[in-house]
Amino acid sequence: MDIDFELYKFFYHTAREGSFSMAAKKLYVSQSAVSQAVKNLEEKIGGSLFFRKTRNIKLTPEGELLFSHVEQAYNFIKSAENKISEMKNLEYGEIRLGVSDTICKHFIIPHLEGFYNLYPRIKIQVVNRTSSQILAALKTGQIDLGIITLPVNDPQVYAEEFIKVRDIFVASDRFSFLKNKKIGIHELSKYPLLMLPQNSATRQNIDLYLRSAGVEISPEIELESIDLLVEFSRIGLGIACVLRESAEFAIEKGELFEVKTKEKLPDRIQGIITMRDVPLSHAAGEFIKFLKG
């Protein structure tokens, strides 16, 4: 069926506005032009699209079916137009970024500030989630890019290394007998441990390493927040495994110290992930370049 797309545009705005006159104002044409266009479309389709018995027209069942598809197509077209607009000197656009609270706080905020200063009209939406939740949000189109713990074993996702981070064990003076000495990593199991939950990518990597060293742990407390792990350790509830940067301030103040182990935990790689077959907006692409420096 060969139908002029202009007819669909007239139909779409008529359905949206609920009247021929309002659609005409929206399209800057006469009411008769809108009415004729809708009539031509009905003739080509072979069915009535509107009930016209009242002042405010209403979609027929056939009209509702057509509108649901035309509206989707219209939104796709508007999305394409918006993305093209973004290419004009990054004057417009939006970036939807998924990143954990801790990585955002210690590594991403300076980049966000610098990028915003350069491109103040780019809207930046940050979604704070775990690595697995960020991956899921990327695959459902809720975000444009994410920063998560690698590796990622998904053929639909493109991942590239961003930064390496290191986890350390910290404790308060309740465990002062561990200061200024190095202990075997297997000795940690003797003490109350504060860890992230088992469903976090960070915890899974740590557990994998410890098992490879023949160490089995049973944490006293599991918390979703690294900042809370630092606080719980600060009041003496146990030895916490946290991102080094998250504990630096408390260490400098003397509230915590690093429990040094003979075997260091391996660095964790944080990577930038995007969908392989989904083109990035110009703004998102430029932001990735900015992150990589």
Q: Is residue 226 part of a domain?
A: yes
**Within this chain, do residues 134 and 9 fall inside the same structural domain, yes or no?**
no
> What CA–CA distances, in Å, run from 214 to 43, 186, 205, 208, 210?
77, 8, 14, 10, 6
Tens-of-pLDDT digits for all 293 residues of the chain? Answer: 678 889 999 999 999 999 899 999 999 999 999 999 999 999 999 999 999 876 778 999 999 999 999 999 988 888 888 777 766 778 778 999 999 999 999 999 999 999 999 999 899 999 999 999 999 999 999 999 999 999 999 999 999 999 999 999 999 999 999 999 999 999 999 999 999 999 998 999 999 999 999 999 999 999 999 999 999 999 999 999 999 999 999 999 999 999 999 999 999 999 999 999 999 988 999 999 999 98
Domain boundary residue, one of 86, 107, 124: 86
Q: Is residue 125 part of a domain?
A: yes
pLDDT confidence of residue 82: 75
Nearest to 192 by CA among 160, 222, 231: 222
Q: Which residue has the tokens 């989707």?
A: 72
**Within this chain, do residues 120 and 181 fall inside the same structural domain, yes or no?**
no
Domain boundary residue, one of 59, 86, 113: 86
Helix (H, G, I), strand (E, B) or coil at 261: strand
pLDDT confidence of residue 1: 66
**Within this chain, do residues 123 and 260 fall inside the same structural domain, yes or no?**
no
Which residues constitute the domain of residue 128?
96-161+272-292
pLDDT confidence of residue 256: 98
In the 3-class helix/strand/coil scheme, how is 130-179 assigned residue by residue?
Answer: CHHHHHHHHHCCCCCEEEEECCCCCCCEEEEEEEEECEEEEECHHHHHHC
Domain boundary residue, one of 86, 114, 133: 86
**Within this chain, do residues 202 and 60 fall inside the same structural domain, yes or no?**
no
Q: Is residue 134 part of a domain?
A: yes
Domain containing residue 81: CATH number: 1.10.10.10
Peptide bond into 151 cis (omega under 30): yes
Fill in the amino acid letter for 209.
Y
Q: Is residue 91 part of a domain?
A: no
Give the pair of three-digit tokens for residue 228: 């809370």
- Left, alpha or beta for 238 (phi > 0: left; psi -120 to 50: alpha)? left
Give the pair of three-digit tokens for residue 127: 């979604």
Domain containing residue 145: CATH number: 3.40.190.10
Helix (H, G, I), strand (E, B) or coil at 221: strand
Say which DSSP state 105 is in.
I
Helix (H, G, I), strand (E, B) or coil at 262: coil
pLDDT confidence of residue 4: 87
For the chain, the domain total comes to 3
Instruction: Say if CB 282 and CB 83 are below 8 A apart.
Output: yes
Contacts of 242 (CB under 8 A, 6+ apart): 167, 168, 170, 226, 229, 230, 233
pLDDT confidence of residue 54: 67
**Within this chain, do residues 120 and 254 fall inside the same structural domain, yes or no?**
no
Fill in the amino acid letter for 155.
P
**Within this chain, do residues 150 and 283 fall inside the same structural domain, yes or no?**
yes
**Within this chain, do residues 174 and 156 fall inside the same structural domain, yes or no?**
no
pLDDT confidence of residue 56: 76
Q: Which residue has the tokens 């910290």?
A: 170
> What CA–CA distances, in Å, run from 184 to 176, 190, 221, 265?
16, 11, 22, 12
Please indicate, yes or no, whether the overall pTM of this predicted structure exceeds 0.75: no
